[in-house]
Amino acid sequence: MIPLQTWLQETPYRAYSYSYPHKTAYRPFTPIMPLSAVWHDEAKTGLFLYLHIPFCEMRCGFCNLFTTVNADQSLERRYMDALTRQAEQVAQAIGPARYARMAIGGGTPTYLATHDLARLFDLVETLYGVDLQGRPISVETSPQTAQLEKLQLLYERGTTRISIGVQSFIESEVQGVGRAQRTDEVIKALHQIRESRIPTLNIDLIYGLPGQTLATWSESLQRALDFAPEELYLYPLYKRPLTGLDRMGRSWDDHRLACYRAGRDQLLAAGYTQVSMRMFRAPHAPTQDAPIYCCQEDGMVGLGCGARSYTRNLHYSTEYAVGYTGVRAILNDFVDRPTESFRYAYHGCTLNDEEQRRRYLIKSLLQAEGLALNAYQAWFTTSVFSDFPQLDQLFTLGLATHDDTTLRLTSQGLELSDTIGVWLYSDATHRLIEEYVAR
C-alpha cells in the first residue's frame, strides 16, 4: 500500500468516493445470479429504492454519468415499458420488503413528460407498496426541465427534496464546459421550485471551472444563498475519460482547494452545517420522522438502466459507459430484453468480508460525523483499528482523530476526502479500476 503522504503530494483530488467499489470495478457474473437467491437472506426492513432515468436535454462537458441526450420519443416509450417490466419482475423476485427512502435520478428525470413521471410514482406505489407521503423522496431536475406543471406533480406525489444542477450562475463559466445555460433560466427555475412548495431545495455548484476566480465563485454561492436552499452541494471539477471536457483537451489553473476552503467558510458563516466534503445543510432544513435507513448497513434496490443495487455482499447493475456509442448500446439492449431476463443480475461485484469492512469504513469516515466505533464493532465483531492499521497514518498527519466513541476526519482531513477515500481502496479494487476499458 502506497503511503498516504505520497498520495497527498500529488493531488488532493483523486476521485469522488461516493460509493465503494466504483462501477469501473464491476465485471460480468459467471454464472448469472437469480435475484431471488441474491436477496433471499437479506434484511429487507429498511431498503432504499432508486429509479434511474438516463435522459438529458444536453451533455455537460464534465459529466460521466450514464445518460444520453436528445433521445427520440420512441426510445423513451420503449424505456418506460422496459422499466415497468423490470419493476414487476424485481418486485416478485425480492418479495415483501419495506422501503425507507426513495430517489429518482439520472440523467434528468424531469426530462420525461409529466404523465411518465406520474407513471413512475404509480409503479412504486402499486408494486412496492411505498407510502409516498411517509418517507423522504428525492428527485433530480435541471434549469431547462424544472417546469411548474412537473414540479407540482412531484409535490402532490410526496416529493420532499428537489435537487437542481446549477453549477455556476456565471454564464461564461458553464459555457466553458460545454453547458448551454442562461442565468435567467436558472433564476426562473429556482423561483418555480420555491413556488411548488417542495420542502427541501438542493443546489449543486462546481468549483474549478475554466475562467472561474475566487470572486466569481463567491458570487455564485451568494446567488444560490439568495434562495435559502436547505442543502448545497459543492463539487470539485474533474476531467474524466470520454467526457466532453476530456475531448476538449483543455487545461486550466487548478485552484480547486482554494475555492473549496472559501466556499466552506462562506457557507459556515451563513449558518450552514458541513455534512461531508460536498454537502452543507441549512439551519432551517426540515427534519422528518422517517423510517430508519443506514447506508452502511441497509440495501438498495435499483430500477432502470444504469441503476445500482446493493446487498451486503453483492453489488450489481447494468454495464457502465460514458461515451455516446457505449451508452446507446447498453440502452438498446435494456429496452429489448425479454421480461424474464430482469429476474437475474448479470454484472457487478461480490464483496468478501474484508471488502465489506472497507466499504463501511469509507462510507462512514468521509462524513463529517465520522464512524461510530461501537456500530462498526457490532456489525463486524472486530475493531476498525485492528482491521485497518493504516489508519495510524491519518493520525500522524493530523487528518483524523478519535475518542472512545467516534473516528472522524479533522477539517484538514475532510478537505482531502477525495484522496483519503481512494487511498483506502483495496489493492484488488485498484487493479480492477485500472484495468477497466472506458467505453
* Cα separation values, 95 from 35, 128, 317, 342, Å: 10, 9, 19, 14
Averaging pLDDT over each range in 10-19, 241-250, 310-319, which range is the top one? 310-319
Query: Over the stretch 157-189, which tens digit does the pLDDT of each residue have?
Result: 999 999 999 999 999 999 888 788 999 999 999
- Considering 265, 281, 297, which residue would you say is the last residue of a domain? 281
For the chain, how far is it from start to end, CA to CA, in angstroms? 29
Half-sphere exposure of 220 (CA within 13 A, CB side): 30
Pick the more confident residue, 206 or 66. Answer: 206
Q: Alpha helices, DSSP H only, in 157-255?
A: 171-175, 183-196, 214-225, 244-248
Asked if residue 185 belongs to a domain, the reply is yes
> Do 277 and 358 belong to one domain?
no
> How far is Cα 114 from Cα 339, in angstroms, rounded to an integer?
26
Lowest mean pLDDT segment, chosen from 30-39, 119-128, 234-243: 234-243
CATH number at residue 391: 1.10.10.920
Give yes or no: residues 122 and 210 share one domain.
yes
Asked if 245 and 61 touch (Cβ cutoff 8 Å), the reply is yes
| Residues in a beta bridge with 407 | 371, 402
Q: What Rg value do the Cα atoms of the chain yield, rounded?
A: 21
Q: What is the mean pLDDT of residues 354-373?
A: 97
User: Whats the size of the chain, residue-wise?
Assistant: 439
Residues 264 and 398 placed together within one structural domain of the fold: no
Residues 211-233 have a mean pLDDT of: 97
The answer to whether residues 263 and 366 belong to one domain is no
In a domain, 22, yes or no: no
Residue 242 has pLDDT above 60, yes or no: no
Whole-number Å distance between alpha carbons of 23 and 433: 8
Q: Are residues 359 and 225 in the same domain?
A: no
Residue 112: pLDDT over 60: yes
- Percent of the residues in the chain that have a pLDDT greater than 70, as a whole number: 95
Residue pair 99/136 in contact (Cβ under 8 Å)? The answer is no
pLDDT higher than 90, residue 320? no
Report how far Cα 66 is from the mean position of its chain's Cα atoms.
12
Domain stop point among 257, 281, 305: 281
Q: For the residues 7-31, what does the mean pLDDT come to?
A: 89
> What are the start-end ranges of the E strands in 221-287?
231-236, 273-274, 279-281
Cβ atoms < 10 Å from Cβ of 323? 15
* pLDDT for residue 56: 87
In sequence order, which residues have a C-beta less than 8 Å from that of residue 124 and are 6 or more positions away? Answer: 49, 51, 87, 99, 102, 130, 132
Task: Give domain status of residue 298, yes or no.
Answer: no
Query: Do the beta carbons of residue 342 and residue 51 sit within 8 Å?
Result: no
Torsion of CA 180, 182, 185, 189, to 10 degrees: 70
Residue 392 in any domain: the answer is yes
pLDDT per position as a tens digit, 244-270: 444 445 455 578 999 999 999 999 999
User: Which of 114, 117, 112, 139 is CA-nearest to residue 49?
Assistant: 139
Which residues in 109-125 are b (16+ Cβ under 10 Å) and which e?
Answer: bbbbeeebbbebbebbe
pLDDT digits (tens, 9 = 90+) for 279-303: 999 999 998 767 777 888 889 999 9
Residue of 113 and 73 predicted with greater confidence: 113
d(CA 59, CA 65): 9
The answer to whether residue 180 sits within a structural domain is yes
Q: Is there a contact between 20 and 359 (Cβ–Cβ < 8 Å)?
A: yes
CATH number of the domain where residue 140 is located: 3.80.30.20
Q: What is the pLDDT of residue 21?
A: 95
Residue 410, domain extent: 353-434
Tally of domains in the chain: 2
Asked if residue 239 and residue 112 are part of one domain, the reply reads yes
Q: Which of 281, 313, 336 lies at the terminal end of a domain, its last residue?
A: 281
Q: Is residue 299 part of a domain?
A: no
Q: What is the distance of C-alpha 160 from the center of its chain?
A: 17
Least confident stretch, 38-47, 55-64, 129-138? 55-64
Q: Taking a C-beta distance cutoff of 8 angstroms, is the pair 56, 106 a contact?
A: yes
Q: Are residues 238 and 357 in the same domain?
A: no
> Residue 324 falls within a domain, yes or no?
no
65, 207: one domain:
yes
If one compares 153 and 15, the residue with the highest pLDDT of the two is 153
My answer on whether 277 and 407 are in the same domain is no
**List of E strands, 64-199:** 68-69, 99-106, 137-141, 161-167
Closest CA to 424 of 378, 379, 389, 372: 389
Q: To the nearest whole percent, how much of the chain has pLDDT over 90?
A: 78
Cα–Cα distance measured from residue 225 to residue 227, given in angstroms and rounded to the nearest whole number: 5
Residue 99 lies inside a defined structural domain of this protein: yes
Query: Is the distance from CB of 227 to CB of 272 less than 8 angstroms?
Result: no
Is the CB of residue 266 less than 8 Å from the CB of residue 232?
no
Grid coordinates representing 285?
Answer: 432544513
